[in-house]
Amino acid sequence: MDNKKNASNSDTDIGELVTKHVNNLDDKGKLQLPDDMPDWQKHVIRSEKRQRDAQSELGRTQSKLRESDAKNSVLMTTASTIVPDDFQLSKDELTALNTLKATDPDKYRLEVNALEAKAKEAQQVKLTELTTKAANDATNAHVTKNRVTVLSEFRDANPDLVITDDVLVNDVPPRLLAGVTNGEYTYAEYLEKVKAYIGTGKKVPAGNEGDPHNMGKMPGSQTPGKSAADRAGKNDYAKMTF
């Protein structure tokens, strides 16, 4: 009975701790925690903050998705029926078509129907290409933003660990990132694996060269920072699509 009571009190204390600090944000929306707070408490508060942010973002995303689906349906239906007046024909082809209109109206109508069908099919292909690219770009931007956040929080939680773009690109085996690409584990788990790998005494920079937080300055980039972007194509990390 006492164990249950102690557990209940512990949960209450943690809840109060989270409530007290989870909304302590600076003007940029970054969580601010006391320097003397135990690491485990910081971890609990950061985890709760991420969960609340994720829930809020999910609600906003679902609302926007419903609106986007409705708009997309109307736009796609309308756009797919738009046919150029000239059917994108050459001047000579248009002349022949107009001549046919005067000499053989029935054949002209059949020809026009075929041209309309062909034009609509081409329009649908083009729309699919455009919308697919737009969807892929949006997904990449979303993943990039999430990974920027995860990396920033990881650096905050591990201030003594040097995780620069140079380390991720040059000193970490590509096989670790391949696990993220293949869906074997999350980006957060990847960073923990990087931490464990560096902890084995493998080669890392002696100092904190460059700006270790430059990834956050490029939320739309395909690589986690300028230095990595400059080496695009060098290895799996630089080739990776965020």
Strand, coil or helix: 171: helix
- At residue 194, the pLDDT reads 92
pLDDT for 110: 92
Contact yes or no for 35/159 (Cβ under 8 A): no
Token pair 């797919």: residue: 80
Contacts of residue 156, defined as CB under 8 A and 6 or more positions apart, other chains included, come to: 46
Q: What is the pLDDT of residue 66?
A: 85
Using a 10 angstrom Cβ sphere, with 0-12 exposed, 13-18 middle and 19 or more buried, the burial of residue 172 is buried
- Least Cα distance to 142 among 29, 62, 242 occurs for 242
205 within domain boundaries: no
Per DSSP, the three-state class of 31 is: strand
Looking at the DSSP bridge assignments, the partners of residue 31 are 25
The answer to whether position 221 is within a domain reads no
- CB proximity list for 18: less than 8 A, separation 6 or greater: 44, 45, 48
Q: Indicate whether 3 belongs to any domain.
A: yes
In a domain, 128, yes or no: no
What's residue 232's pLDDT? 38
Q: Where are the alpha helices (DSSP H) in the chain?
A: 2-21, 39-80, 91-103, 105-157, 165-166, 174-181, 187-198, 226-230, 236-239
Domain contains 47: yes
Chunked in runs of 10, what are the mean pLDDT values of the chain (242 residues)? 48 80 83 88 88 85 83 76 71 86 90 85 83 85 86 86 85 90 90 87 42 38 40 40 36
pLDDT tens sequence across 156-199: 888 888 888 888 888 899 999 899 988 899 999 999 999 999 87
Is pTM beyond 0.85? Reply is no
Which residue in this structure is represented by tokens 């083009």? 126
CA distance linking residue 66 with residue 62, whole number of Å? 6
* The pLDDT of residue 227: 42
Place of tokens 């965020």: 242
Residue pair 64/58 in contact (Cβ under 8 Å)? The answer is: no
Concatenated DSSP letters of 49-99: HHHHHHHHHHHHHHHHHHHHHHHHHHHHHHHHT---TTTT--HHHHHHHHH
Residue corresponding to tokens 């464990």: 196
Render pLDDT for 114-129 as a digit per residue (tens, 0 to 9).
888 888 888 888 888 8
Domain that residue 21 falls in = 1-63
Q: Name the amino acid, one letter, at 159.
A: P
Domain annotation covers residue 14: yes
Q: Is 178 a member of any domain?
A: no
pLDDT of residue 125: 84
Number of domains into which the chain is organized: 1
Domain assignment present for 48: yes
Which candidate, 138, 143, 155, places its Cα nearest to that of 187?
A: 143
Token reading at 104? 């053989």
* Angle of CA points 26, 32, 34, to nearest 5°: 140
**Predicted pLDDT of residue 175:** 92
